[in-house]
């Protein structure tokens, strides 16, 4: 540790180079964190899913609804302790580009089955008691500047026409992974307004089960119950349901990983180059240090330590910047990534990568410096 001063002095010698190197590493790690967060924000729904909740949908796909009559039969299945249901509304606010999720939910059971949706005192009651009421997530309220009592017009694409909802509650998530970009309103209101042929149809049923261990047996029982009906069901844990949804998005994760690796690799090459140039310029100095009795191992550690220090400094800056920017900005990528937040794991992974980059880029110049022949090095310059 006593040589920290020497490492530091070496870094300060060409301030411009140190600055440029640190910043290019910071940029690489900033990008790495951003891309990694795209992936983890897709997965936020997995982390937010409850182990004691099952999702029941039509076996073919979400596009096909289930009859409301299933409600009674589902709630009688042994192991089921609660049931709620709802429909994906699929509308937009003013312009199709303004994407966020809207669900028509059976309100009396909804708040009971979704304890992660937290409403301030009194708002739950206000939501329950008014037919055209809705609640919105805190992030959504910030984004469009909506307040309690505002009327929100939503254009339906599945259920045509303009629908107006009054904001009676602004919810927050129990954990940070809960999506705060959704609008929930009364399923009854939707149902009443539909023409005869489209009434009493449910997109998804949610079942609460007494314990996560019951998931497999309850799912099996439910699907067996409706197996030979015109509307067979597919029941799975909420987590499996979300995972299936994510897998539809396809190779995005792989593509982002490829791009992320290319970035880190590119900057690593640049850093290696810088470290080698720095070492080359100091050939005489290193020879002098050796003459003074510095061992090969110590020289190796000094040059390597310099690279490590540079990388960690840059990595810390880049990861920190990413965490800060995306925490402050409510960025949702046009509604595609409703939960864009840099996780602590991502920052940690970034720092580990930075350290690896530092070690790798330090190896060549450090070995070069350690192997330096004193006599020839001194002669070369003189």
Residues of the shown chain interacting with other proteins in the complex, contacts defined by CB under 8 A: 16-17, 20-21, 23-25, 27-28, 30-31, 34-35, 38, 59-64, 90, 96-97, 99, 155-158, 160-161, 230, 232, 234, 244-245, 247-252, 255, 258-259, 262-263, 265-267, 269-274, 276-277, 281, 333-334, 336, 381
29: nearest Cα among 312, 324, 328 = 312
The rounded distance, in Å, linking the Cα atoms of 239 and 196 is 34
Q: Shortest Cβ distance from residue 205 to other proteins (Å)? A: 17
- For other proteins, the closer of residues 175 and 247 by Cβ is 247
Dihedral over Cα of 245, 248, 250, 256: its sign = negative
Tokens of residue 119, six digits? 């409403």
- For other proteins, the closer of residues 113 and 222 by Cβ is 222
Q: Shortest Cβ distance from residue 62 to other proteins (Å)? A: 8
Q: Shortest Cβ distance from residue 347 to other proteins (Å)? A: 18
Q: Shortest Cβ distance from residue 128 to other proteins (Å)? A: 29
Cβ-based neighbours of 351, under 8 Å, separated by 6 or more: 312, 315, 316, 319
Q: Shortest Cβ distance from residue 169 to other proteins (Å)? A: 28
- For other proteins, the closer of residues 109 and 235 by Cβ is 235
The rounded distance, in Å, linking the Cα atoms of 79 and 192 is 32
- For other proteins, the closer of residues 167 and 313 by Cβ is 313
CB 85 within 8 A of CB 106: yes
- For other proteins, the closer of residues 31 and 135 by Cβ is 31
Q: Shortest Cβ distance from residue 42 to other proteins (Å)? A: 12
182: nearest Cα among 245, 135, 218, 130 = 135
CB 287 within 8 A of CB 374: yes
- For other proteins, the closer of residues 175 and 228 by Cβ is 228
């Amino acid at each position: 540790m006593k040589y920290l001063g020497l490492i530091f002095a070496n870094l300060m010698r060409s301030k411009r180079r140190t600055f440029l190197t640190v910043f290019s590493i910071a940029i690489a790690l900033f990008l790495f964190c951003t891309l990694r967060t795209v992936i983890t924000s897709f997965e936020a729904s997995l982390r937010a899913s409850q182990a004691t909740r099952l999702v029941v949908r039509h076996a073919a796909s979400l596009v096909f609804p289930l009859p409301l009559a299933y409600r009674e039969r589902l709630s009688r299945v042994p192991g089921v302790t609660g049931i709620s249901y709802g429909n994906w509304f699929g509308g937009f606010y003013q312009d199709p580009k303004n994407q966020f999720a809207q669900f028509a939910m059976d309100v009396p059971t909804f708040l009971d089955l979704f304890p992660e949706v937290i409403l301030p005192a009194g708002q739950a009651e206000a939501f329950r008691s008014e037919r055209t009421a809705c609640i919105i997530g805190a992030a959504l309220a910030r984004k469009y500047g909506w307040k309690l009592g505002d009327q929100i017009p939503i254009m339906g694409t599945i259920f045509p026409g303009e629908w107006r909802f009054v904001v009676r509650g602004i919810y927050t998530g129990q954990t940070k992974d809960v999506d705060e970009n959704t609008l929930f309103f009364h399923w009854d209101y939707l149902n009443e307004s539909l023409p005869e042929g489209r009434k009493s149809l449910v997109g998804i049923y949610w079942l609460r089960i007494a314990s996560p261990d019951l998931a497999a047996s309850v799912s099996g029982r439910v699907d067996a119950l409706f197996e030979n009906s015109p509307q067979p069901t597919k029941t799975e844990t909420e987590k499996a349901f979300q995972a299936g949804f994510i897998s539809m998005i396809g190779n995005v994760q792989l593509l982002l990983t490829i791009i992320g690796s290319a970035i880190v690799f590119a900057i690593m090459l640049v850093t290696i180059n810088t470290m080698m140039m720095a070492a080359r310029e100091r050939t005489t100095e290193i020879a002098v240090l050796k003459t003074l009795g510095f061992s090969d191992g110590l020289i190796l550690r000094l040059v390597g330590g310099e690279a490590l220090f540079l990388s960690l400094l840059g990595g810390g800056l880049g990861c920190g910047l990413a965490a800060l920017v995306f925490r402050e900005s409510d960025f949702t990528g046009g509604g595609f990534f409703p939960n864009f937040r840099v996780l602590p794991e991502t920052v940690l992974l970034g720092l580990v990568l930075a350290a690896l980059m530092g070690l790798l880029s330090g190896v060549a110049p450090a070995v070069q410096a350690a192997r330096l022949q004193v006599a020839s090095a001194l002669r070369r310059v003189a």
